[in-house]
Amino acid sequence: MRKMSDTIARLTALRAQQNVHAPTLGSSNRLSTLTGFGSNPGALQARFYLPEALPENAPLVVVLHGCTQNAAAYDHGSGWTKLADQAGFAVLFPEQQRANNPNLCFNWFVPADTNRDGGEALSIRQMIETLIAAHGLDRERLFVTGLSAGGAMASVMLATYPEVFAGGAIIAGLAYGTANTIPEAFDRMRGHGGPSEPELQRLVSIASPHKGPWPRISIWQGSADQTVAASNAEAIAGQWRGVHRLGKTPTRSETVDGHTRRTWIDASGNALVETYTIPGMGHGTPLRTAGEHGLGVAGPFMLDVGISSTRRIAEFWGIAEPRASAPAKPRQPRRRDAQLPASPHRFALADDARVTARTAPLRDPAPSTPAADEKGVRKIIEDALRAAGLMQ
C-alpha cells in the first residue's frame, strides 16, 4: 500500500485535473426530480426520465455518472434519455452530492456505502423500488450502467443486489470489492495489486444471499486510459465469468464498428459476458455522435470513437433494436416535470431488511379525484417498499 502522503498528492492532482474538465449543464437538462424514495442513508439525489409514450410494463435503466459530473451532464453526453424515447424505457439517474464526495464520485470503495442494505447502495435500491411502484415498470427488465466511479458503483449494485438486475454495463470501472480505502482505490485504478480472480469471484458470491441466475454483463475499456488501467476490465470480466461458470477463452471474437468485441456464451446460446476494447481511447464513455444511429454529444469524458456504447449496451440487454417489429402500446402521456406525491413522513428502514427477488405486480389506481389519486399512488409506493423489505 502506498504512503498516505503520496495518496494525498495524487488526490490533489486528480482534483485539479477534474476541475479543469468539469462539464456544464447548459440547457440540456431533460430530467425530473424523484422525492420521498426512502430513508436514503447515502444522502443521494435522484433524477429520472419517462418518455411521453412509455409502454406498459416498460424496462428501467439506472445510469450512474462519473466523477465531476452530474446526472443531467452525463445524460446530455451519453444520450440515454434520447434512446429511451426511441426504444420505450424509463431511466433513473442517482446523483452524488458534494457533501458526500467533493469530486462528486460515488463512494465505490467505502464499505459503509457498498454493502447490501446500507449507504449509497441502499439509497439507489430505494430509488429503484419507488420508481417501479409509481410507474408500473417491469421487474424482470431492470439494468444498471455507469462510467468510472459510476461504473465501479454499478459493480457494487450488481454484486449486492443481483436478484434485482437482469443486466449491467461497466465503462472504465472496477470490480466489486477490489478496494476498501482511498489508497487502495488509487492503486487499483492504476492497475496495482488487488484480489486474485478466485477471490473476486468469492466476494460476489458472499455479497448477497442470492444464488442465481446472475445478470449479464457488458464491459467497456479504452486501451489508452490513464485514469483506470485496462487491467481492471479484465478483472471485472474474470469476476463475472466465475459467477456464470464460464471459461477464460471467449466463445466469439469479432469486430464491431471497428472495435474488438469478445463474448462469452453459455451452453444454451445466451451471451452472458461481453467486453469491448477501444484502441487508443482514453478515460470516458465511447460515443458515436454522427449518422443514423448516433447518440449523445462529445465533450470531457464523452469520447466520439465511432461506436455508441449506449446503443450497443441497450441492444446487448435486449431493450433496444435497430428496427422495432411493432409499436408498443403507449401509456397515458406524463408531464416531464411531474414528481412523486409528497409523503407525510420519511420512509423508515428496518436494520435487518432484505430485498425480495420479486413482488406482486402493481396496478395504477382507478381514476377519481386528484386527492384520491395522490393517496392511491402513495399507497402503491408504500406497499411496494414494505413488500420489498425497504419500509416498515
Structural domain count of the chain: 1
CA angle 74, 275, 325 (to 5 degrees): 75
| DSSP character string of 21-70 | H----TT----EE----S--TT--EEEEE--TTPBTT--EEEEE--TT--
Q: Residues 6 or more apart from 47 whose CB is under 8 A from it?
A: 31, 32, 33, 34, 71, 72, 92, 93, 95
213: preceding bond cis by omega (within 30 degrees) = yes
Q: Residues 6 or more apart from 176 whose CB is under 8 A from it?
A: 114, 155, 156, 158, 159, 160, 200, 203, 204, 207, 239
Residue owning grid cell 399507497: 379
Whether pTM > 0.85 for this model: the answer is no
Domain-located, residue 241:
yes
Rounded distance between C-alpha atoms, residue 169 and residue 215, angstroms: 10
For 25-35, letters b (16+ CB in 10 Å) and e give eeeeebbbebe
Cβ atoms < 10 Å from Cβ of 338: 11
Among 78, 123, 148, 308, the active-site one is: 148
Give the amino acid at 11.
L
Give the amino acid at 223.
S
pLDDT at 327: 34
Any idea what the CATH number is for the domain that residue 144 is in?
3.40.50.1820
Domain-located, residue 356:
no
For 321-335, letters b (16+ CB in 10 Å) and e give eeeeeeeeeebeeee
Q: Residues 6 or more apart from 34 whose CB is under 8 A from it?
A: 46, 47, 48, 92, 127, 130, 131, 339, 340
Domain-located, residue 379:
no
The DSSP bridge partners found for residue 256 are 259
Domain of residue 282 covers 41-322
Strand, coil or helix: what is 248? coil
DSSP 161: S
pLDDT at 106: 98
pLDDT at 391: 53
* Rg of the Cα atoms in the chain: 20
Domain-located, residue 161:
yes
Domain-located, residue 236:
yes
DSSP 58: -
Domain-located, residue 170:
yes
Kindly list the distances between the CA atom of residue 66 and the CA atoms of 106, 107, 138, 173, in Å, as whole numbers in the listed order.
8, 11, 27, 10
Rounded distance between C-alpha atoms, residue 347 and residue 392, angstroms: 8
Rounded distance between C-alpha atoms, residue 143 and residue 217, angstroms: 10
Q: Could you state, in chain order, the average pLDDT of each consecutive group of 10 residues for the chain (392 residues)?
A: 41 38 52 95 98 95 97 97 97 97 97 97 98 96 98 98 98 98 96 96 96 96 97 98 96 94 97 97 96 91 96 97 41 33 25 28 34 53 57 52
Domain-located, residue 190:
yes
**All cell numbers assigned to 286:** 465511447
**All cell numbers assigned to 297:** 454529444
**Residue 148 annotated as catalytic:** yes
First-to-last C-alpha distance (Å) of the chain: 42
Nearest to 105 by CA among 68, 74, 151: 68
Q: How many residues in total does the chain contain?
A: 392
Rounded distance between C-alpha atoms, residue 158 and residue 167, angstroms: 8
**All cell numbers assigned to 377:** 399512488
Nearest to 286 by CA among 169, 206, 208: 169
Q: Residues 6 or more apart from 29 whose CB is under 8 A from it?
A: 72, 76
Domain-located, residue 51:
yes
